[in-house]
């Protein structure tokens, strides 16, 4: 029972935190008027993609916690903090250059989690692979928006 409660806590942090931050920092007129690259996904795609990713992130965090690996848990916490910082910086502060620095740090922390989890917990590792892929794409998107504006 205790382990399932722990899973719920990690899911609440990742899915609940992501939903709260996403809803409080939604794209506005400033974003709509930015020049964006041709490969910008449609707006409706972000909520379902991030919801699925946050479920995987929560599961990976829970597995890291259960593994007892302090470096793995630390990598999970660092990426979660950077993840939650990006939207307010980009969408609310209208600071795409600073957001680019944050998302590069986020990608590095995700890669650190992947490196640490590869030998420790393959399930946690595979939970982060789609996340790493999406954040790599988002980094390209953020960087291209900086270059175009």
DSSP letters spanning 76-140:
HHHHHHHHHHHHIIIIIS--HHHHHHHHHHHHHHHHHHHHHHHHH-HHHHHHHHHHHHHHHHHHH
Interhelix angle for 17-24 vs 46-67, to 10°?
A: 140
Q: How far apart are CA 30 and CA 121, in angstroms?
A: 42
Per-residue pLDDT in tens (0 to 9) along the chain, 149 residues = 889 999 999 999 999 999 999 999 999 999 999 999 999 999 999 999 999 999 999 999 999 999 999 999 999 999 999 999 999 999 999 999 999 999 999 999 999 999 999 999 999 999 999 999 999 999 999 999 999 99
Contact (CB, 8 A) for 10 and 65: yes
The domain limits of the chain are: 2-148
Q: Taking the model in full, what pTM does it have? A: 0.95
Evaluate the CA torsion angle 100, 138, 90, 77 in order and state its sign: negative
d(CA 76, CA 112): 9
- What pLDDT does residue 1 have? 83
Architecture of domain 2-148: Up-down Bundle (1.20)
Q: Do 130 and 53 contact (CB within 8 A), yes or no? A: yes
């Amino acid at each position: 029972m205790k382990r399932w409660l722990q899973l719920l806590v990690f899911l609440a942090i990742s899915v609940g935190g992501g939903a709260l931050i996403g809803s409080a920092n939604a794209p506005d007129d400033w974003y709509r008027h930015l020049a964006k690259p041709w490969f910008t996904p449609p707006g409706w795609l972000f909520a379902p993609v991030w919801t699925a990713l946050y479920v995987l992130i929560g599961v990976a965090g829970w597995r890291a916690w259960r593994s007892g690996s302090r470096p793995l848990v630390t990598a999970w916490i660092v990426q979660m903090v950077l993840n939650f910082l990006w939207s307010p910086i980009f969408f609310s502060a209208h600071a795409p250059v600073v957001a680019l620095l944050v998302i590069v740090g986020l990608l590095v922390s995700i890669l650190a989690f992947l490196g640490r989890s590869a030998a420790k917990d393959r399930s946690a590792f595979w939970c982060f692979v789609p996340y790493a892929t999406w954040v790599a794409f988002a980094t390209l998107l953020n960087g291209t928006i900086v270059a175009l504006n």
